[in-house]
């Protein structure tokens, strides 16, 4: 075995280029040549790590979800349940240009679910996982007395996340200010106190 390189790292470089292109030009712009140019590598290298364009696009979704999951866990593991809930609900709203890239790409992948069953599966899994996680935070907050008892945690979690994503879509489109969205979401979270 010659010349050992970090496969995961190489794939990540390529996938980051995919994200950048999706954010700027959508999936229509994701051609092998465009990806190679964006990453500053050759088309051959892209092909070496991905056997087809479809697989590349799918791995882009997989890695985005995985990084989001890991990043969220790392950022919030030491926070109290209610603050973790807040972070989870805020997450969809892009406050910085770099973060906007992530949320735009995520919205693009959601839209792409219609013609790629593999991506659709990842999207629905992410949806249900997020709801369960948020519901768990509500449960935890109730257990430690931060929140009073009330409606079904899963229903509340779903509503908060849906609202957040609705705001996010408008922030991305430019018809809503990110800070206004966060403030509105905070009001909804505070309302859980009854």
Partner DNA sequence: ACCATGGCAATACACTTGCACTGTAAAAAC
Partner DNA sequence: GTTTTTACAGTGCAAGTGTATTGCCATGGT
Q: Which residues form the interface with a copy of itself (CB under 8 A)?
A: 23-29, 104, 107-108, 110-115, 120, 123-124, 127-128, 155, 158-159, 161-167, 169-170, 172-176, 184, 188
| Those residues with Cβ within 8 angstroms of residue 129's Cβ, 6 or more apart along the chain or in another chain | 69
Q: Which one of 50-58, 81-89, 141-149, 175-183 is the stretch in contact with DNA (CB under 7 A)? A: 50-58
- Region from 41-49, 68-76, 94-102, 103-111 binding DNA, contact rule CB under 7 A: 41-49
Nearest to 90 by CA among 191, 6, 161: 161
- Is residue 132 close enough to count as binding DNA by CB under 7 A? no
Helix (H) or strand (E) holding 147: none
CB 137, CB 82: distance < 8 Å: yes
Q: Tell me if 12 contacts DNA by CB under 7 A.
A: no
In terms of residues, how long is the chain? Answer: 194
First vs last Cα of the chain: how many Å apart? Answer: 63
- Asked if residue 69 binds DNA (CB under 7 A), the reply is no
- String of DSSP letters for 61-126: HHHHHHHHHHHHHHHHTTS-HHHHHHHHHHTTS--SHHHHHHHHHHHHHHHHGGG-HHHHHHHHHH
Kindly tell me which of 80 and 188 has the beta carbon lying closer to a copy of itself.
Answer: 188
Q: Judged by CB, which is closer to DNA: 1, or 173?
A: 1
Burial of 131 (0-12, 13-18, 19+ CB in 10 A): buried
Cβ closest to a copy of itself, residue 144 vs residue 177: 177
Taking CB under 7 A as the criterion, the residue among 12, 20, 53, 95 binding DNA is 53
Q: Rounded to the nearest whole angstrom, what is the least distance from the CB of residue 27 to DNA in the complex? A: 9
Binding region for DNA (CB under 7 A): 1-5, 7, 10, 30-34, 41-45, 47-48, 51-54
């Amino acid at each position: 075995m010659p010349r050992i390189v970090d496969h995961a790292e190489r794939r990540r470089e390529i996938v980051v280029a995919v994200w950048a292109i999706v954010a700027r030009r959508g999936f229509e712009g994701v051609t092998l040549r465009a990806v190679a140019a964006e990453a500053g590598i050759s088309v051959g290298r892209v092909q070496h790590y991905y056997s087809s364009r479809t697989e590349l696009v799918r791995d882009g979704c997989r890695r985005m979800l995985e990084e989001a999951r890991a990043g969220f866990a790392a950022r919030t593991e030491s926070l109290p349940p209610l603050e973790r809930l807040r972070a989870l609900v805020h997450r969809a709203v892009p406050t910085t240009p770099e973060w906007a890239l992530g949320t735009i790409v995520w919205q693009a992948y959601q839209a792409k679910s219609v013609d790629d069953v593999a991506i659709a599966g990842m999207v629905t899994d992410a949806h249900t996982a997020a709801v369960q996680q948020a519901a768990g935070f509500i449960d935890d907050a109730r257990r430690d007395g931060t929140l009073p008892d009330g409606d079904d945690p899963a229903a509340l979690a779903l509503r908060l996340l849906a609202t957040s994503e609705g705001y996010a879509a408008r922030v991305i489109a430019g018809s809503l200010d990110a800070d206004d969205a966060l403030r509105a979401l905070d009001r909804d979270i505070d309302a859980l106190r009854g």
